[in-house]
A = this chain, B = another copy of it.
Amino acid sequence: MAGSTYGTIFRITTWGESHGKALGVVIDGCPAGLELDESHIQKYLDRRKPGTSSITTPRKEDDTVEILSGVFEGRTTGTPISLLVRNTSQISRDYSDIATCYRPGHADYTFDQKYGFRDYRGGGRSSGRETIGRVAAGAVACRILEQLGVTVYAYTRSIGPVEADMNRFDRTTILSTPTAMPDIEANDAAMKYLEGAKRETDSVGGCMECIVEGLPAGIGDPVFEKLDANLAKAIMSIGAVKAVEIGDGCQVSSRKGSQNNDCYRTNDGHIIKQSNHAGGILGGISDGDTIIIRAHVKPTPSIFQTQQTVNTEGEEIAINIKGRHDPIIVPRAVVVMECMTALTVLDAMLLNMTAKMDSLMNFYIKKK
C-alpha cells in the first residue's frame, strides 16, 4: 500500500533507495508565490549529509538537490515541486553476505516477509538515506513557517548517559558541534563517549528534542488529527525512533494533578500559561506556548561485532557486518526531526484556515 505520502494540504511523496539511481520528493500543495531556489533546500540537506565528522559514515555524498518543476522565475507556482538528489557514492561491493541473511535490528527480515524479497544493497528503502526526501521537503516547509513567524529547531538532548545541560543552552552550538548538542561541554563529553563506543565496535543511542516557537493557539484538529497525535506519528515514522514525548512526557504518569496542571495568567493583555508541562498542546490543539517534543532513538543496529542470526534458508549463522556506518544515529537525525515537525505543523496550520465561518467570509466576501 502507498505509504510514502505525508500531509493533507501540503503533501509530500518521497521515493528512492540507498543504492538506487537517485532519491527525491514531490511536494504537492505548496502555496504559490514563495521565493525558492536550490540553496534554501541544500542548506538543510547539508546538515544530514554523511562524512562531515568522525562520528558519521565516511560514505561521501554531495547530496546535491535539483529542482525539476514547480518553480518559475524564482517563485513557487502552486504546482508540484519535484526535487531530485542523485546517488553518486554507492560502492558496488559484493552484497551476497547481507543479501541472504537477516541483520539484527534492521528491517531485512520484515521487508522479506512483507514483499517476498528486498533491495538488499545498503538497506534499500529502509536505509537512512530515505530521509533525504523528508529533509528536502521539510526545508520548504520551514521556509514557509519562517514567513509566518513560526520557528522550528531540533537538537540532541542526550547521547548514551551524557545529557545536555539546558542551563548552558546555546542554539548556535547545535549547528557547529558534531553531536548537534546545544551545550558545548556535553558535546565534548559525548564525543569522548562515542570514541569509546567506536573502539569497542559498538554503537550508542540518544535522545533528540524539537522546539516550535511562535505557533499561534488553535492549531490541530480533534479528535484524531490532534496536533500531538500527528507529531507522534511524524516523529515515530523516523527510522530508529522508539518513543515520543510531548511536554513533560513520561513524567506525567507519576504526577498529581495539582503538580501537572498549567494555570493561566495574563501578560500584557494576552492569556498565557504560568508553566508549560503540557508542551504547548491542550486537547490536541496548540495553546500558543512553545511546543516541545522529544524522541528516543535506538543505537545504530549495524555494529562491527559477531552476531547470531538466521539466513534466508532458515539456517542459524553468525554474521559480521561490513560497510560504512555511523556509531550513532541522532546527530544526523536531528534535522529530520526538525523537518518532520515543520511538515506537520505547516499542514495543521493550512487545515486550520477553514475552522471558522468568519475566516471564509473574510476570504471570499472581502475578495469580491
Contacts and interface: CB of A to CB of B under 8 A. Distances in A.
Contacts of A116: 32-33, 356, 358
Given A69-B17, A354-B9, A360 B1 contact: no
A32 B250 contact: no
A31 B226 contact: no
Contacts of A302: 257
A50 interface: no
Contact of A285 (B114, B117, B225, B234): B114
A264 B78 CA distance: 25
14 contacts: A1-B221, A2-B29, A4-B80, A24-B68, A72-B117, A107-B282, A110-B281, A126-B283, A148-B361, A202-B258, A216-B364, A242-B249, A250-B296, A264-B310
A359 B368 CA distance: 15
A173 B247 CA distance: 32
Number of copies: 4
Contacts of A298: 252-253, 255, 257, 260, 277
A105 B242 contact: no
A263 interface: yes
B254 A158 contact: yes
B109 A15 contact: no
A30 to B, nearest CB: 9
Interface in A201-239: 202-207, 216-226, 228-237, 239
